[in-house]
Each structure stands twice: as C-alpha cells, then as structure tokens.
Amino acid sequence: NFLLTQPHSVSESPGKTVTISCTRSSGSIASNSVQWYQQRPGSSPTTVIYEYFQRPSGVPDRFSGSIDSSSNSASLSISGLQTEDEADYYCQSYDSDSWVFGGGTHLTVL
Amino acid sequence: EVQLVESGGGLMQPGGSLRLSCAASGFTVRTHYMSWVRQAPGKGLEWVSVIYTGGGSYYADSVKGRLTISKDTVKNTLYLQMNSLRVEDTAVYYCARVLGSVRIDYWGQGTLVTVSS
C-alpha cells in the first residue's frame, strides 16, 4: 500500500492564503482521486474538496484543490483565511479497494 | 435529510466483542457504498472498512480477520462486528456514506469504543 504525507501543522494570518500539501509515497497521485476533509474540534469531518478540485455545494470558493504530478502531491489552498477555518485537514485517496488518509494538518489562523 | 446515527460503543476488555450499529435515514444503504472510519484519541483519521452495494467488503490490514462490516437493508442499518478487541482499537468510530465509490459525503457523529483492562 501507500502513504499520504501532510505537514503536521501550518499557521497563517486572517485574510492570507495557506496551502496544505499531501504527498503520495508510491504510485501516481493522478491514478486515484484525492479528497480533503475538514474537522473542527469536537465535530465530525466534512468534505471541502473531492476528486482533486471539486467543491461540494455549500463550501465557499475560498477553498480550492490542485494536483502536481511532478511532486506526486495534491494540495488544498484556502484564501481569505477566516478564524472559522482553524481546524484539522485530512487528505484521502485509495488504491485496490483500500483507502488511505493522510496524517492530518492542523491549521492555526492567528 | 440524510442522517447517520451510530450506537453500541462502550468500555470493553481486551479480547472482548462488540457490535456497532449505524442507523441510516434519508437514503437507503442498499444503493450506497458505506464505510467505517475511526479516530483514536488525539490522533488522525484511519479507514477501517467499506462495504459495496453488492455486499463485497474490504478492510484495513490492522483489523482484517477481527472486524466484520455488514448491512441490513430492511432495517437500513450498517454494522461493525468487533471481535478479539485490542487496546489499540480504542477510538471514536464514524459511520460514513460513500459517494462515487471513493469519497465520503456524510458522516455520523461517532461512537466511542474504549478497550482497557
């Protein structure tokens, strides 16, 4: 199987843009779609991006996803940061009927 | 409105058994893939298992042979039978609806399983 590696934590100021990476250890990042989930403290996760860059209805367009085959990674970018964006973010992908989550990134908006 | 409500968690001794339930409403489990995802205290998300519409199921290596996913289409309920429990199975277990076979669009509120002697 493969691993998805994310930075443990990132921080940025309100109004700025932050990008969180998710690097696949083996196999191509382009082979199987990547999803991003947001989890606020004490709450269940919610989807903010699916299939690399699709946004579910209700998710603001401040959230965007991308893929970079050269670094075998996917990224989540959040622009116009708001304090409510402070949360844990997880990437997720799959391969051969097995799902994998990244270790999660804690975003601090300060 | 889609809702997933888990139940069945609790404090168990190592080696014990437990069955988690996830009552679904607003849709039918017969026509959707369903999954269990767990989160150990203070840790990240870990995929546990998925069951397809045809009944086929797959598991994380860490639970293979001990945990069994199933569904009752009459009761519209998803289950996770947990046998030979280990301390490392301690986690909040989330029930989730899978969309497009590869992503989760709805999560339950989770149920806590604690395995300790």
| Minimal Cβ distance to A98: which of B37, B44, B58 | B58
pLDDT value of position B109: 97
Mean pLDDT of A9-37: 97
For residue A25, what are its two tokens? Answer: 């250890």
Q: For residue A77, which of A5, A32, A10, A4 has the smallest C-alpha distance?
A: A10
Dump pLDDT digits (tens) for B48-105: 999 999 889 999 999 999 999 999 999 999 999 999 999 999 999 999 999 987 899 9
Between CA A68 and CA A72 the distance in angstroms is 6
The residues facing A37 across adjacent strands are: A47, A90
Dump pLDDT digits (tens) for A43-71: 999 999 999 999 999 999 999 999 999 99
Dump pLDDT digits (tens) for A65-108: 999 999 999 999 999 999 999 999 999 999 888 999 999 999 99
Q: Tell me whether A1 touches chain B (CB under 8 Å).
A: yes
Name the band, by pLDDT with cuts 50, 70 and 90, for residue A1. confident
**Which residues have CB under 8 Å from B107's CB, separation 6+?**
A44, A45, A46, B4, B37, B94, B95, B96
For residue B27, what are its two tokens? Answer: 């849709």
Q: Which of B36, B45, B69 should we substitute to test contact with A (largest number of A Cβ atoms within 10 Å)?
A: B45
Q: Where are the beta strands (DSSP E) in A1-110?
A: 4-5, 9-12, 18-24, 35-39, 46-49, 63-68, 73-78, 87-95, 98-101, 105-109
pLDDT value of position B75: 97
Q: For residue A78, which of A45, A49, A35 has the smallest C-alpha distance?
A: A49
Report the percent of chain B where pLDDT is more than 70. Answer: 100
pLDDT value of position A96: 82
pLDDT value of position B83: 97
DSSP character for A50? Answer: B
Report the percent of chain B where pLDDT is more than 90. Answer: 95
Smallest CA–CA distance from A91 into chain B, residue: B45
pLDDT value of position B102: 82
Cβ B26 vs Cβ B49: under 8 Å? no
The distance of B60 to chain A (nearest Cα, Å) reads 7
pLDDT value of position B55: 87
Q: Tell me whether B44 touches chain A (CB under 8 Å).
A: yes
Which residues in chain B have Cβ-Cβ distances shorter than 8 Å to A92? 45, 47, 103-104
Which residues in chain A have Cβ-Cβ distances shorter than 8 Å to B37? 101
Between CA A24 and CA A110 the distance in angstroms is 29
The distance of A40 to chain B (nearest Cα, Å) reads 12
